[in-house]
Amino acid sequence: MKSDIEAIMQGELGAWLAGQDGQRAAARHRSRRRAVIAAVILVPLLGLLWWAPMLPWEVKALVTAMALVLGLVWVLLASAKVRQQVKHAINSAIAKHFGVSYQLRASPGAELQRAHVFGLVPHHDRAVIEDCWEGSLAGHDFRLYEAVLHERRRDRDKHDDWNEVFRGAIIRMAFGRPFRSTTLLERTGRKRGLMGLGAIPEKLTFNGHQLDRIDQVHPDFAETFALFSDDQVEARVLVHPAYVEHLLRLESAFASEQVRALFAEGDVVVVVEGGNRFESGGLDPRNDAERVERTVAQFTALTGLALAINQNERGSPVKAMPAA
């Protein structure tokens, strides 16, 4: 990976970043100036608020939290445009290095709908899609993006409140060999019921489509994942023991996160819940190489996980990109 970082930084990106020093310095100055102004205004006002004896502490706490959040947002907005420009430049250079394209914002594809239908992501009323990478990876058409899903809830006054129900990466990749079944690869804890306890169900039904649980011969795999399919023979081919250990090693990179996958309609859709990745925008040029390295590590780990689930020939795993 070190050679990738050097190649990216020594190319067009390095020259472009060097030309942004003035803009980034100006953005840092604006942010510091706004921080000082916010402190000068908020500190005495909040001091008077907490001194007032007639107000309950709940009101004081709420007003204080709202004031601090608004002040922070105002400070961050001073540099938001420059951060976005730097982020777009860095991530676009990384995408070009790996032969794919990158967009800051995108629209959800059919893969998100499939993930919703088969329970990989929760019900939601709004989807925000950002950091979208797409193209061809190891000969497979693929799309990778971060999704933030919100559910609309109405309070007693009929005001809409948008509650975040999911944040994570969605990956769609064309599978390396044809298949006809629908197969779901789940973390066992998500299908054990409340608090991850109880027995794993023998069957799952999604919009009338029944998937039966498939027994696995690899004990470590069975402890971590549950497999459901409408074709037990094909499911064992899709999730082949020859690459289960490799998959488990890559999955360990996301030990605190929930990884699951769906094999359907010629594609594999992988969901990696949690985290806020690809945030490579920054104002300090001294941290550029570190941000590039972190983003490359995130990209290669996620695509490596998808490739580990994929295969070209019966019983043969695709050679994955190196995980971070």
Q: Which sequence spans correspond to the domains of the chain?
A: 1-79, 98-324
How much is the pLDDT for 315?
Answer: 43
Say if residues 291 and 216 touch (Cβ distance below 8 Å): no
pLDDT lower than 50: segments of the chain? 192-196, 313-324
How much is the pLDDT for 322?
Answer: 44
Contacts of 111 (CB under 8 A, 6+ apart): 143, 170, 172, 267, 269
Strands 209-214 and 203-206: antiparallel
How much is the pLDDT for 320?
Answer: 42
Please give the torsion angle defined by the CA atoms of residues 143, 229, 301 and 111, in that order, rounded to the nearest 10 degrees: 20
Say if residues 125 and 151 touch (Cβ distance below 8 Å): yes
Burial of 194 from C-beta contacts in 10 A (0-12 / 13-18 / 19+) = exposed
How much is the pLDDT for 191?
Answer: 58
How much is the pLDDT for 112?
Answer: 93
